[in-house]
Amino acid sequence: MRGKAAHRSDVEESLQPGSGETRRVRRRLGLKGELLLALLPTAIMLVVLGVVEVLTRQRLLFASLASSAFLIYLDPEHGTNSVRTLAFSHISAAVIGWATYALLGPGYAAAGSAMVVTILLLVLTDHVHPPAISTALSFAFRAGSESSLVLFALAVGITAALVLLEQAALWVLARQR
């Protein structure tokens, strides 16, 4: 029978906590600390939505980023919430969704194809970030123009910066205890 260490090395990186096997699960803070930690992703998503509102009417293309922000709040050090995983998964999903829309038109065929291809790519490349599946579906149903891809990439960049800010906030809150 294989030991725990051997089994852990076989598990994909995106499913592992960011700081390795010795990292403990994030301890819940008091209500004030949890609300402060949740404030940052909420504020950043409100800013992203405001920018989207000013620049485009493609609001639903960005809904999946709100789910990412909440996952980042929940555990900013988990592998599925790393900057690398978040950025790769969302950008890939957007391109796949847009491409299936361009090839198949809006509808079930484009959305189903985008979802399947995105899931396969994320699993094969170890960039598993579940909200990206919604990104693929959003672009497949109504991709809009190429400028939507550029704006979405900018929003993903802002969300990726959120990972770093959330890790810093968690570090500061942990030091105050």
**Which one-letter amino acid corresponds to residue 57?**
R
Residue 149's pLDDT band, with cuts at 50, 70 and 90, is low
Judge whether 10 lies within some domain. no
Position with higher pLDDT, 88 vs 139:
88
Strand partners, 126: none
Rounded to a whole number of angstroms, the distance between the first and last alpha carbons of the chain is 41
18 part of a folded domain: no
Please report whether residue 105 resides in a domain: yes
| 59 falls within a domain | yes
Q: Which residue range is the domain that position 61 belongs to?
A: 42-175
Q: Is residue 147 part of a domain?
A: yes
What is the pLDDT, as a whole number, of residue 92?
Answer: 95
pLDDT digits (tens, 9 = 90+) for 46-57: 777 677 676 666
pTM score over 0.75: no
Q: What's the rounded Cα separation, in Å, for the pair 144 and 127?
A: 26
Q: How many domains does the chain fold into? A: 1
pLDDT tens, position by position, 123-140: 999 999 999 999 898 888
